[in-house]
Amino acid sequence: MQPTNIYREQSQLYKKINAAIHRWRRDTAIKGTAIVLAIFSIGLGLIALLSSYWTAAPYLVPAVAVITVISFLFAVVKFIILPFRHDISADHIARVLESSHPELEDRLITALDSSIRRGSVDIFWLQKVVEQASTYTNKISFEKEVSRSYRPVWFALLVAAFALLVIVVSSKMQWQPHIAEMIHADFKPPKPLPELYVTPGDHRMMRGAGFRISATIKNYLPEDVTLYFTEDDSIWQSVLMQPQGNDKADVGFEFFAVQNAFHYYVKAESEISEIFHVTLFDAPQIKQIDLTYNYPPSTKLKTRFEKDGGDVWTPIGTKVTLNVLSTTSVSAAQFILADNQPSDMKILSDTTAQASFVVRDDSFYKIRLVTPDGLDNTPLAEYFIRALKNQPPSITVLRPSRDIEATMLEEIPVKADISDDFGMEEAVLVVQVNSRDEQELPLQLESSDSRDNVLTYQTHEFSTLIYLEDLEVKPGDFVSYYFKAKEEQNNSTISDIYYIDIGNFDTIYKVATSSGNSGGGDNAPQFAKLQKDIITATLKLIQNKDSMPAEEYAINLQSLYKTQVDVRNSIASIVQRAKLRGRMLQQEQNEIVDALADAVTAMKLAEPKIENDSLKSAMPHMRTSYHHLIKADALVSERQISNSRSQGQGGAQNQRELTRLFQDELEKMKSKYETLDQSEQQHAQQETDEALRRIQDLARRQNQLNQENRQLAEQNLSNEEKERQIKKLQRQQEEINKDTQKLMQDMAENTSRNQQNSKESAQTSNDLRKASQAMNHATQRLQKSQQQNALASGQEALDKLRKLEEKLQQLQQDDLRKELQDVQKKMENLAQNQRDLARETQQSMSSGGADTSRIGQNLERQRSIREKFESTMEEINKLAQNSDSEEAETKRELQQVGRNLSQKKIDESMQKAESLLEKKRFQEAERLMESIHKSLADANQDLDNALKGIKKSNEQDMQKALQETQKLRTKLEELLAQNDSNNSNPGGRSGSSSSQKLQEELWKTRQEFRELSNLLSSNPQMRDHYRDLENATNGIVRQTLPGSQRLDQIESQLVYKMKLIEAELQAQLNVEKGLEAAQSLETVSVPREYRELVEEYFRNLSSSEKLK
């Protein structure tokens, strides 16, 4: 290759490198210009954008400007000046290419070397190097290798920055004044302009709801902020807005119960808001709920319709249909049961919707109404659902209500009141002779206070006759009977069981004529009574097995078994000890022992069945043993009667010894069977006390609520404030109602668990339900702002609670009287037993001593007396501690009795008497026993005085007498009307039947008058009135006047006088109630039916006073 060619090749390489250098310079210029112009455009844009906010943030724009200048200068230096200041050479480009392409192996640098170009090297070698460098670099783009920056990106940034600069400059009229103002103000911000913000502005709300307007003032604090509002744009009213919290810049005003649309604006000195508009909509409200009850067939109730109700009281299983009436048109309605998902209701008309559900348990429901524009009745009101469980019937036996003795030809009238809420299918009398199968006798409905479809306890009076002759009984048999009320699913409730002992006339007559003699029938051992109590307990256990908790049932079953074993062991001991004296026994006494032995045999057969919970199969054996025990009791009674008529004969002494043997065993067992009854009575008393306490609290709260309601009615409050107070009263009434319903449910559960006093408990629950219904009416009327009507309903609820309180207080008093009577009777028996033992000891001493067995018997009797005395002392102390504060005098007397007995240390004296008997020091023992007897007799007298000191409610006795007199008069008037109609049609059989029925009723009425006179023994005037009626009835019964004259006589001498007595009783009751009402500022109204008669009574009373 020629040198010329070598230089040409070198020149080509230099051209490529120079082109790459120019490319790098252009790209660097574009990049630098783009970055610098972008920073300048963005900075200028931010300044223009933030210029309008310089008053709020005065230092923000200068800060952006400084940052923009600094960034601009930094970009000019970094991306323009510095790159061009350090320009690149051909050698630098060659080294860059060599480093990027190692395969050149320094050939490009060598080819461009200046020394080589001056001929300092071999031309041949240079030719090779240049050729190779040219060959390798032909494939390389020098411009791309040198300039690898993203040229399109920088070009696009340059265009965008230029466009942004054009936009900012073109809008300078908007931001240039702010900049100029800022420059002229030396960057000092002016005072901020006052600002007024009003919320909520235009608003749409529900009519009757509250509405609050708030205003916030910024940049200044005015003295007053005034709200202007108007309904018709003619008259604007103003009111000062009050600060909200501690910040005086936030003010507000609230409208309560907005009823009309209005306009409003807010003015704060010179600042005035725009005029806002408040429009109203009428949300749907429940106007009325009508309920239809479709009761289950088992309740025996007809379908019932209740208008304007809401809350549901109904038996479980009832289908309830609701017809809901809305105040406005609705497009949809939903029924929400408890917390379940809503279900759509059936739309019957534009304002009526319907839903149905079945009552399963206590719950609540809500109704949601929706208008066509989507408004609803939120918040939803809750209506409660009370699922009434079918409570067992309550049975009260009226006649004869005790065990009796009769001949086998008598007809025994029986009568009972059966109270039930619903579901009773049939009432029968169950009769059983000895151990034969039971028979069910139909009952006749005498009277009823039932009301159709009223879910309250309704009382029905049933009666029938037990024809003993038809039962084929004979002397020595016994008949048991009880009333049974049947309900669905074979459920039934039974009354207490009663017994009729069958004897012959001679035996009954002898017992009656000998009752006044010593050793009469009252001292008979009465073995049968213990077994009868076991049979009664067994029957109750069979009846209550399903409803009684398993643990409680097991305990009672074990107690029953133990009791039967104890009775059998005691009687077996009597038999064994009597047989040891067989040589002393006469034939009649052997018959007694044989009867007792047969009873023991029957008890042994019953015991394993009781233990294995086969009570029904054990019942025949238990009744058989009772049959034998009746026979033994009858033989003992006959023997005692015989001895009383032949005193002094040898057999009498043997009989007394045998009787004492029996009595000792019975005394040992007696205390074992008192504990359970006392426990049941104590539990029932605790339930009554707790119910009374809760009722008193409810009455107190209801009375306080009524007083607040009266005070609210007298206060002159704004509509908004009165509405707020009424809502408060409504919530309080709902709380009282909930507590009343809870007490009612507790009382119902107690009634189902405990049959003792079931009728009273059921009636109390029924009265509570009526009080709760009155409270519910009060709540509904408060919801409708009917304040006076709500007060009337609240007063009705209070009256019912107070009557309940009085009733339970009387029950408490009656329980105390009964318990004190029992204690007094025990103390009397203790004194009598101690005196008998003292006389027995004296007889032993006068006869020159006694055998060991007699001493042992007397010692055992003294120990038994001491144990009973200790038990009686515990009862006295317990009564003294538990007596009500209202019986404070009785409590003090009981405490004094206990202190006196403790001071006399009677128990220690009894122990000393036992020691003297053991030592055969009979004279000292007899004197000590007489002293103990005197102390017990004194204690008995003190208890009798305490019993008399218990106040008895005269008002209650008069109320009872009034009710009984009304019932007797009504029955007589009905019979008079029947006989009067029969007299107009003589000759018929019905006439003689009605006359006989009237005669029977007169006999019964005479006895009732006698009982009423005894009832009002503390009221001499009324007692004499009833005695006069009794005498008048005797005269009418004995006279035989013609039909019409007899009826006129009954009308004038009985019916009219009974009306006068009723009026007098009512007047005296009003006087009693008037005294109480004067203390509580209440009024007492006289029933219309007695008003004229009461006025006549007071006129007669005034006339008699003037004559005096």
CA distance 842 to 846: 6
The pLDDT of residue 1079: 41
Are 756 and 895 in a shared domain? yes
The CATH number covering residue 333 comes to 2.60.40.10
CA angle 429, 433, 436 (to 5 degrees): 105
DSSP H helix total and E strand total for the chain: 30, 30
- 717 and 830 together in one domain: yes
Task: Using CA atoms of 314, 318, 319, 320 in order, give the dihedral in degrees to the nearest 10.
Answer: 0
986 band by pLDDT with thresholds 50, 70 and 90: low
For residue 199, the SS3 value is strand
Contact 254, 211 (CB under 8 A): yes
Judge whether 300 lies within some domain: yes
Strands 262-268 and 276-281, by their bridges, are antiparallel
pLDDT digits (tens, 9 = 90+) for 500-520: 988 876 555 555 444 444 333
Q: How far is Cα 586 from Cα 636, in angstroms, rounded to an integer? A: 12
Overall domain count for the chain:
7
Q: For residue range 735-755, what is the model confidence (pLDDT) as tens digits? A: 888 788 778 767 766 655 555
* Domain with 365 in it: 286-388
Q: How far apart are the first and last CA of the chain?
A: 179
Return phi, psi of residue 58, to 5°.
-65, -25
Q: What is the DSSP letter of 231?
A: S
- pLDDT at residue 278, rounded to an integer: 93
Band the pLDDT of 267: cuts 50, 70, 90: very high
Last residue of a domain, which of 619, 639, 671? Answer: 671
- Return the biggest CA–CA distance within the chain: 187
CA atoms within 13 A on the CB side of 381: 18
Asked if residue 511 belongs to a domain, the reply is no
Q: Identify residue 700 by its one-letter amino acid code.
A: R
Q: Are residues 647 and 557 in the same domain?
A: yes
pLDDT class of 143 with cuts at 50, 70, 90: low
Q: What is the pLDDT of residues 794-842, one digit of tens each?
A: 888 888 888 888 777 777 666 677 777 788 888 888 888 888 888 887 7
Residue 286 · residue 210 · CB < 8 Å: no
Domain assignment present for residue 178? The answer is yes
Is the pLDDT at 144 greater than 80? The verdict is no
Residues 763 and 720 in one domain: yes
Over residues 625-670, the pLDDT tens digits come to: 888 888 887 777 776 656 555 544 444 455 555 556 565 565 555 5
Q: What is the pLDDT of residue 956?
A: 66
pLDDT band at 355 (very low <50, low <70, confident <90, very high): very high
pLDDT at 214 over 90: yes
Do 260 and 350 lie in one domain? The reply is no
What CA–CA distance (Å, rounded) separates 245 from 304?
A: 56
Q: Specify whether 939 is located in the same domain as 1087.
A: no
pTM, rounded to two decimals:
0.50
Residue with more model confidence, 588 or 503: 503
Q: What is the rounded distance in angstroms from the CA atom of residue 327 to the CA atom of residue 286?
A: 6
Are 450 and 520 part of one and the same domain? no
Fill in the amino acid letter for 43: G
Question: What residues contact residue 326 under an 8 Å CB cut-off, 6+ apart?
Answer: 284, 285, 286, 287, 333, 351, 352, 353, 369
Evaluate whether 457 touches 511 at the Cβ level (below 8 Å): no
Asked if residue 1081 is part of any domain, the answer here is: yes
From residue 547, alpha-carbon distances to 390, 486, 688, 755, 1101 in Å are: 13, 16, 21, 11, 58
Residue 542 lies in a domain: no
Tell me, yes or no, whether 1023 lies in a domain.
yes
Q: Is the pLDDT of residue 167 over 70?
A: yes
Percentage of residues in the chain having pLDDT higher than 70? 74
What ranges make up the beta strands (E) of 200-351? 203-206, 211-218, 226-230, 237-240, 242-244, 247-255, 262-268, 271-272, 276-281, 286-294, 304-306, 312-315, 319-326, 332-337, 343-344, 346-349
**Domain co-membership, 99 together with 236:** no
* Encoded tokens for 484: 């049974």
For a pLDDT cut of 90, what percent of the chain falls above it? Answer: 11
Please give the average per-residue pLDDT across 991-998, as a whole number.
69
- Out of 11-15, 411-415, 772-776, 876-880, which region has the weakest mean confidence (pLDDT)? 11-15
In this structure, the answer to whether residues 909 and 985 fall within a common structural domain is: no
Residue 592 contacts residue 635 (beta carbons within 8 Å):
yes
In a domain, 312, yes or no: yes
DSSP secondary structure code for residue 189 in this structure: P
Domain boundary (671, 696, 725) is at 671
With beta carbons less than 8 A apart as the criterion, state whether 330 and 370 touch.
Answer: yes
Confidence (pLDDT) at 1086: 46
- Average pLDDT estimate for 849-856: 67
The pLDDT value recorded for residue 4 is 53
For residue 522, the 8-state DSSP code is G
| 730 and 631 in a common domain | no
User: Other CB atoms closer than 10 Å to residue 118's CB: what's the count?
Assistant: 8
- Mean pLDDT lowest among 18-27, 122-131, 200-209, 560-569: 122-131
Are 889 and 928 contained in the same domain?
yes
Q: Rounded distance, CA 837 to CA 852, Å?
A: 16
* 702 plus 659 within the same structural domain: no
Average pLDDT, integer, range 259-274 = 91
Choosing from 924, 949, 974, the residue where a domain stops is: 949
Residue 979 one-letter amino acid = N
Mean pLDDT, rounded, of the chain: 77
Q: Is residue 220, in this structure, part of any structural domain at all?
A: yes
Residue carrying the six token digits 């480009």: 93
